[in-house]
Amino acid sequence: MSANSEVVPTLHPGAALRKEIQSGQFVAPFIGIFDAFSATVASQHSTNLFYSGFGFAASHYGLPDLGYIAWSDMVQAAWRIRQILPEHKLLVDIDDGYVDASVACHVSTQLERMGVAMIMLEDQKRPRRCGHFDGKILLPLEEYMEKLEMVLAQRTDLCVLARTDAVGEEIYRRVERISMTDADVILVDGIRSIETLREVRKITDKPLLFNQIAGGKSPRVALSELMEAGATLVLYSTPCLFAAQTAMNDSLSAIFSNDGRLPDTAYGHSVGVTECSTLLQKNMDLHLPEGNTVKLKRA
């Protein structure tokens, strides 16, 4: 580097995402991932990734999304994604902020410092659950607003997605109140019709995110329909997790229905060791000095 070279500061992923959102253009979809491998696969399809609480609870604990996640586990998991995919923007689900407002602030600060682009903070009360499950209980609005305001006050670049799990007329009361804050994006989770999204669009100028989950409460909607209804962002919460469950079941069933014979990778019915290693090689090369590489040889 010459003495006259100017070092251009790198924009924090949160600031970069905020700039993209504020442009008014439809943001690239967030794809829900559940570990480092699923993130590696999903990274080939979108620049935006979502660390799903549903997916993390399933992959890390083998449990449903009913409030079992420890904040330290989620922070460590997000760190692993940031190490292998630093050019991608990561949205992290922090549930209700792990109950206490001070914990929510502590967690969001750690995530911002490692380069997470955005967090999702919901208004559920414990015992919490997936937004597409029945039996959700909401925090009193002012209690949620106090927590949200504290997180917003201490962030610098981190984007904050304020999520409400309200139903009926309570949706509109909460969206109006959240709209008075500096939250970057609003999500009404588990809504049952695209018409509700259109009604929400009428009462707020905030960017709206629509969450789609297979078999969930919300309808299956095309991106063009979401744009027409006023959404700026879309989230696919669990496609990788559900696809993995389906594929693993199908693959193992095929093996044991064929006298234990593995599938023939030559005909594209399944990836093999070479294809999988090639995918992972990119993550390894990221941590090696420029120009160096370690090739994984086929056995």
- Residues, the chain: 299
pLDDT surpassing 70 at residue 267: no
> Whole-prediction pTM value?
0.88
Q: Which domains does the chain have, with CATH numbers?
A: 13-244 (3.20.20.60), 263-299 (no CATH)
What is the mean predicted confidence (pLDDT) over 41-46? 95
The sign one gets for the Cα dihedral 78, 38, 12, 23 is: negative
- pLDDT score recorded for residue 299: 46
For residue range 57-69, what is the model confidence (pLDDT) as tens digits?
A: 999 999 988 888 9
Question: Does residue 75 contact residue 104 with C-beta atoms inside 8 Å?
Answer: no
Q: Containing H/E element for 187? A: strand 185-188
Distance (Å, rounded) from C-alpha 284 to C-alpha 226? 37
- pLDDT score recorded for residue 268: 58
DSSP 266: G
Cα 243 to Cα 214, 238, 246, 250, 255, distances in angstroms: 10, 8, 5, 10, 18
For residue range 137-179, what is the model confidence (pLDDT) as tens digits?
A: 899 999 999 999 999 999 999 999 999 999 999 999 999 999 9
pLDDT surpassing 70 at residue 254: yes
DSSP 275: H
